[in-house]
């Protein structure tokens, strides 16, 4: 569905050339749900712009739906949906239903087909009561649901999403995620999700691509990332008494009153062993075991740490 | 295919107009204000010209006919082309709106024009047309079908030239992403100069606005016909036949500049 090969983009600025994307390769198959992450300025949006035909690559090859984006921009536009979380694709001053009608004409969706799809989208995204409301009067959560409906109304083969859950409350986030999961499952839409919200990625994406400084630094499943990088776990101990505590095989990383944090390597010592040692020497009020947080892992990757 | 594409842009434009009519009072006030500016300006010039008696051998009413044509042409061009003005277009680029336009299955120019149609400028156009009728009456023009045709020719071709300037400027804006005052000099300066009989200008200025930025040609030559005057040496009446092709060529050149600008924006040019 998407092929990216040796993709580069160099911007000329007053302070000389800046390489925003410095040679990236990946392939995305039809129906994949890919998270695309990276710190600010990593080259995420530049890559997405090259995939959607907004920017011409400086070098390398990009193909989406079998089309060369910048050369066949309009044809690709018919097969592609785009949602930029911060900006609207809807007609601000008009009732929502008019936006859907315009999208229908713009993408030449036959009237019957449009009505059928719209009925389903209205139901899934609970848009019914909003149809007559001008877009500018919608709440952010309502608007994001409407944006998604407008983007997928033409049944795109590929959907580019940029921060679709930014600023949304818990409930609205869940609604957006549920919808995307369903869309990907039932229609087989390929989704590229650019986000800072790693929660989005762990809940939705089968695959994660991380780039930094214009280079690909991780491409694989979220699970594989956890096992590659997340080899340390943390045992949190609540002592009965405030007393010094040492634990063989684990490193104390934090202490707060009677609560202590110990980090240990998964392959050196098991949690059970560690807890047994602890209970033999101290009186313990409570225990919790913290698995590596994907957010921590990604932060470590951004800092340039290697697996282990 | 073409009809279908056109239909989409008409729908877009209709949606834009509908959006403005949702606040009718605001729309009326803005339209009337746009018309009033023209009325006041024409009245001011009329008062001034009456003190002088004539400009370059033209009576005040005859000069005001040129003013009316210039305003009507500018109004018509801005109904469609207001979003191409440097500050508005650079705003679209900076806010990323233009990126979104490029993800639509439509021509970017058609999209921008249709999405920012501004009916307020209809007020300016109508006021300009009103000034033409009023000035022609005071100048004693006996209207015939041919003269009316020439007046329409002047307004539409002036609009085409102004639109061409806006297009070229927009192409430039894609490169600089900054508004350029130079454009306002051409649009407003050119129109202002074309509001007076061209014979009062030196040959360099006259050549610039007759042949290079043909807003002077578009207004002055048809006006000669409407008023039944013969032109000065170098600007014979039969040039009226050239007005439409020259204005059309200028518009096409503007279109090329726009396309070059888009290519630069996407990164295929430069």
Q: CA of B78 to nearest chain A CA: how many angstroms apart?
A: 21
pLDDT of residue A306: 66
CATH topology of domain A2-226: Rossmann fold (3.40.50)
Cβ contact (<8 Å) for B100 and A56?
no
In chain A, list all ranges with CATH 3.40.50.300.
Answer: 2-226
Nearest CA-CA distance, residue B37 and chain A, Å: 28
Residue A55 confidence (pLDDT) = 92
Spatial neighbors of B135 by CB under 8 A, at least 6 apart, are B61, B62, B64, B65, B67, B68
For chain A, 308 residues long, give each residue's pLDDT as a single digit of tens: 999 999 999 988 788 888 999 999 999 999 999 999 888 888 888 999 999 999 999 999 999 999 999 899 999 999 999 998 778 899 999 999 999 999 999 999 999 999 999 999 998 899 989 999 999 999 999 999 999 999 999 999 999 999 888 888 898 899 999 999 999 999 999 999 998 888 888 889 989 999 988 999 889 998 888 777 777 888 999 998 888 888 888 888 888 888 999 988 877 888 888 899 888 888 888 999 887 777 777 777 777 776 65
Q: Rounded to whole angstroms, how far apart are CA atoms B99 and A279?
A: 61
**Residue of A106, A151, A156 to mutate, testing the B interface (most B Cβ within 10 Å of its Cβ):** A106
Query: What pLDDT, on a 0 to 100 scale, did the predictor assign at position A264?
Result: 87
Q: What was the pLDDT predicted at B179?
A: 61
Ranges of chain B whose pLDDT falls below 70 = 1-2, 177-181, 268-270
Q: For the segment B77-132, what is each residue's pLDDT rounded down to a tens digit? A: 999 999 998 888 888 888 888 999 999 999 999 999 999 999 889 999 999 999 99
Asked if A107 and B105 come within 8 Å (Cβ–Cβ), the reply is: yes
pLDDT of residue B270: 41
Q: Which residues of A touch B176 (CB under 8 A)?
A: none
Three-state SS letters, A251-297: EEEEEECCEEEEEEECCCCCHHHHHHHHHHHCCEEEEEEECCCHHHH
Q: Which pTM does this prediction carry? A: 0.85
Q: What part of A 45-74 touches B (C-beta under 8 Å)?
A: 49, 52-56, 58, 70, 73-74
Instruction: Tell whether A94 lies on the interface with B, counting CB pairs under 8 A.
Output: yes
pLDDT at position B103 is: 93
User: How much is the pLDDT for B164?
Assistant: 95
């Amino acid at each position: 569905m998407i092929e990216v090969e040796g993709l580069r983009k160099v911007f000329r600025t007053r302070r000389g050339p800046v390489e925003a994307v410095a040679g990236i390769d990946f392939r995305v198959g039809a129906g994949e749900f890919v998270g695309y992450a990276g710190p600010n300025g990593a080259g995420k949006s530049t890559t997405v712009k090259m995939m959607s035909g907004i920017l011409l690559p400086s070098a390398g090859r990009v193909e989406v739906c079998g089309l060369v984006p910048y050369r066949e921009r309009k044809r690709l536009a018919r097969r592609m949906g785009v949602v930029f979380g911060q900006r609207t694709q809807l007609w601000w001053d008009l009732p929502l239903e008019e936006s859907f009608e315009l999208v229908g004409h713009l993408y030449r969706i036959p009237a019957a087909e449009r009505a059928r799809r719209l009925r389903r989208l209205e139901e899934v995204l609970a848009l019914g009561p909003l149809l007559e409301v001008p877009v500018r009067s919608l709440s952010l959560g309502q608007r994001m649901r409407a944006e998604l409906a407008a983007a997928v109304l033409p049944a795109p083969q590929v959907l580019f999403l940029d921060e679709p859950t930014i600023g949304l409350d818990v409930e609205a986030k869940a609604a957006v995620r549920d919808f995307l999961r369903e869309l990907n499952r039932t229609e087989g839409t390929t989704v590229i999700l650019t986000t800072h919200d790693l929660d989005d990625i762990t809940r939705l994406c089968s695959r994660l691509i991380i780039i930094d400084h214009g280079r690909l630094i991780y491409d694989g499943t979220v699970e594989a990332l956890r096992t590659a990088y997340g080899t340390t776990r943390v045992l949190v101990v609540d002592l009965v008494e405030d007393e010094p505590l040492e634990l063989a095989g684990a490193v104390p990383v934090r202490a707060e009153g009677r609560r202590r944090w110990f980090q240990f390597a998964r392959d050196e010592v098991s949690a059970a062993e560690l807890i047994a040692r602890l209970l033999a020497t101290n009186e313990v009020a409570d225990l919790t075991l913290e698995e590596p947080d994907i957010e921590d892992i990604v932060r470590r990757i951004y800092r340039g740490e290697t697996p282990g | 295919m073409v009809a279908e594409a056109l239909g989409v842009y008409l729908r877009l434009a209709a949606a834009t107009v509908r959006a403005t009519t949702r606040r009718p009072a605001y729309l009326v006030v803005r339209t009337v204000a746009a018309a009033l500016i023209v009325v006041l300006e024409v009245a001011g010039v009329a008062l001034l010209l009456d003190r002088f008696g004539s400009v370059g051998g033209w009576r005040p009413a005859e000069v005001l006919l040129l003013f009316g044509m210039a305003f009507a042409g500018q109004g018509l061009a801005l109904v469609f082309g207001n979003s191409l003005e440097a500050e508005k277009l650079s705003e679209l680029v900076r806010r990323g709106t233009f990126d979104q336009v490029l993800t639509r299955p439509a021509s970017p120019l058609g999209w921008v024009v249709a999405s920012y149609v501004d009916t307020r400028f209809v007020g300016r156009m109508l006021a300009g047309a009103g000034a033409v009728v009023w000035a022609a009456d005071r100048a004693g023009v006996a209207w015939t079908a041919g003269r009316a045709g020439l007046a329409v020719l002047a307004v539409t071709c002036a609009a085409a030239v102004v639109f061409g300037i806006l297009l070229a400027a927009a192409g430039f804006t894609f490169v600089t992403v900054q508004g350029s005052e130079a454009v306002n000099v051409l649009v407003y300066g050119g129109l202002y100069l074309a509001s007076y009989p061209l014979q009062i200008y030196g040959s360099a200025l006259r050549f610039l606005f007759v042949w290079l930025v043909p807003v002077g040609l578009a207004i002055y030559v048809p006006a000669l016909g409407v008023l039944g005057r013969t032109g000065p040496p170098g600007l014979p009446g039969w040039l009226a036949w050239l007005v439409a092709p020259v204005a059309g060529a200028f518009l096409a050149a503007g279109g090329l500049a726009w396309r070059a600008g888009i290519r630069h924006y996407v990164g295929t040019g430069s």
